[in-house]
């Protein structure tokens, strides 16, 4: 089994947390896009980069056909198409999004160049463990540090808040969008939570998990990536939060769940083709500054709701 580690010294998410709402929301300059390709700072990742930027498969194919020989002409063409922002599901052309895309396709030289250009300090260690075909990124632990101290909450409370936001909003959206494909007269999204949506998917019994319904984290393998398996992962994430006795999520578990859900949301981006990519919504939550009001709101929505309803509703 192939296993190795790559270490990049990049202060990535901490910097984005503090700046994502300001100048990193600007459109990257033509100079930056040109330099990325002229100096060959991006590897052989045309298709993957196009997908990360939200370009359609047809657009990526067209780029490859029009530039059959020159890899960097293809990449440059993709970046220019992305900057023009003329496709419905395209990722917003901002400096922030470019950094995220370059990181995901492991274009370390290109990422370092963009970050240096826009003043990101290169002092944060990002570890990438590669085993077989799986990539695990241990880089989410720095996201909450500043927000926790500024709002007066611990890092573990901020972790729980962000994971709660992900579950209540993004994961519920995933189940709703998936169910709507088979149930057109579905009730409004605002009336649907994960409990209801999971039960409807289970009744429908279309996307059957590899180990059948009602599995545990221990029974779901990394190689189990059927739609039903991801429905189970959503249920287990929701349960883990709602059944918690304390409003805290340790860094180690937070990182594990972020990795699991990042892969899951990439799969649903391709399957559900949402108007706005789920992975974009995930990155926004991970990078955002959490307010005291949001902490209290999520605590009430998750732990408060469970306390009030535990005698009424059976756990999933």
- Lowest model confidence (mean pLDDT) among 120-134, 204-218, 241-255: 120-134
Which residue(s) pair with 8 in the sheet? Answer: 126
- Please give the mean pLDDT across all residues of the chain: 79
Q: What is the pLDDT of residues 40-93, one digit of tens each?
A: 888 778 888 888 888 888 888 888 888 777 888 888 888 988 888 767 667 778
pLDDT of amino acid 307? 41
Q: How confident is the model at residue 155 (pLDDT cuts 50, 70, 90)?
A: confident
Q: Tell me the chain's radius of gyration from C-alpha atoms.
A: 20
Rounded Cα gap, residues 21 and 158, in angstroms: 19
DSSP per residue over 265-294, as a string? Answer: HHHHHHHH--SS-HHHHHHHHHHSPPPHHH
- Rounded to an integer, the average pLDDT of 143-167 is 73
The larger pLDDT score, comparing residue 265 to residue 94, is at 265
pLDDT of amino acid 145? 40
Coil vs helix vs strand at 8: strand
């Amino acid at each position: 089994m192939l296993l190795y580690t790559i270490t990049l010294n990049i202060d990535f998410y901490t910097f984005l947390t503090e700046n994502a709402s300001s100048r990193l929301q600007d459109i990257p300059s033509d100079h930056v896009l040109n330099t990325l390709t002229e100096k060959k700072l991006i590897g052989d990742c045309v298709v993957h980069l196009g997908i990360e930027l939200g370009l359609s498969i047809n657009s990526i194919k067209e780029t490859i056909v029009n530039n059959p020989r020159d890899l960097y002409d293809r990449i440059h063409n993709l970046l220019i198409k992305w900057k023009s922002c003329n496709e419905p599901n395209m990722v917003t052309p901002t400096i922030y999004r470019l950094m995220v895309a370059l990181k995901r396709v492991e274009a370390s030289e290109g990422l370092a160049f963009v970050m240096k250009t826009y003043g990101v300090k290169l002092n944060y260690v990002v570890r990438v463990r590669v085993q077989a075909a799986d990539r695990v990124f241990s880089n989410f632990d720095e996201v909450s540090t500043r927000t926790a101290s500024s709002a007066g909450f611990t890092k573990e409370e901020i972790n729980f808040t962000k994971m709660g936001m992900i579950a209540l909003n993004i994961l519920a959206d995933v189940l709703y969008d998936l169910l709507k494909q088979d149930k057109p007269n579905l009730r409004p999204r605002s009336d649907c939570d994960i409990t209801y949506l999971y039960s409807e998917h289970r009744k429908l019994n279309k996307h059957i998990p590899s180990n059948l319904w009602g599995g545990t984290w221990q029974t779901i393998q990394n190689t189990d990536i059927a739609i039903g398996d991801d429905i189970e992962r959503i249920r287990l994430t929701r349960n883990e939060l709602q059944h918690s006795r304390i409003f805290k999520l340790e860094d180690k578990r937070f990182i594990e769940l972020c990795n699991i859900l990042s892969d899951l949301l990439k799969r649903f981006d391709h399957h559900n083709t949402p108007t706005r990519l789920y992975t974009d919504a995930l990155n926004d939550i991970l990078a955002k500054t959490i307010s005291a009001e949001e902490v209290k709101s999520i605590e009430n929505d998750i732990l408060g709701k469970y306390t009030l309803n535990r005698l009424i509703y059976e756990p999933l």
